[in-house]
Amino acid sequence: MRVSSIVVVDIQGYLRLFLQYPSQTFSKELRMKVLPLSDIHLDFYFLNANKRQFKRYCESVLHINEPNIDVITVAGDLGHYNADNKAFLIYLAETYEAEILFTYGNHCLYFTSPKQLTKYKGQSMDRIRDMKGWAANQKHIHFLDGTYIDIQGKRFGGMCNWYDGSYYQLGPILANYNWKKSFNDYYYIYKNGERYVNFLDIRDELDADAKNTSPCRR
């Protein structure tokens, strides 16, 4: 269902690569080294992690052993806790001396504890706005949400699009029924302290919060 992505095009707008899976680095076509990551899910491994844990995680779980990486992309689902997400992105930027580009997925909207629900006043989208505001003050970490950034003559764009268009084409009644019965999102994504009753409301709010349409079409 989740199709958040980060893409890279040349400045003339020719689509080169969808960077969505942590399979390999891309360097031949781009003449730069780009490491794509996705669905990190830090919460599966630790809470309030330190640099030693991040180092072991990067080496043993993500298998990042590449030298001289220019750009690292993270296409959604960092984790359930913004504090860990921020610490991890800082670790990547400092350790690999790379530009870090990230967007968000459905898990980046989750409240998995009453403390989180209180901290963000029951607004899942405030988790995203918190990450956006934080990234805006970082030198080498960039949040992409319908936006793009140019690096070494290449244009990188990213956006959240974790809902699948074919899913809500089922119609509101069936889509909502399946969503409530099949996905954890119903239980962990909130607005005004309550769960979303209508799945399509999340789609509309995500679209409204993004600044632009897909950067790939620029």
pLDDT of residue 44: 83
Q: Note down pLDDT in tens along the chain; length 218 residues.
A: 444 555 554 433 333 333 433 334 445 555 788 888 888 888 888 777 777 888 888 777 777 777 788 999 998 889 999 998 998 899 899 888 999 999 998 899 999 999 999 999 999 999 999 999 999 999 999 999 888 888 888 888 888 766 656 666 777 788 788 878 878 888 999 999 998 877 777 777 776 766 444 444 33
Q: Is the pTM of this model over 0.85?
A: no
Nearest to 63 by CA among 32, 23, 98: 23
Nearest to 36 by CA among 16, 12, 54, 52: 16
Where would I find the beta strands (DSSP E) of 99-202? Answer: 99-103, 141-143, 147-151, 154-159, 190-191, 194-195
What is the CA 188 to chain-centroid distance, rounded? 17
Nearest to 52 by CA among 101, 95, 97, 85: 95
| Helix/strand/coil for 154 | strand
pLDDT of residue 212: 44
Q: How far apart are CA 24 and CA 48, in angstroms?
A: 28
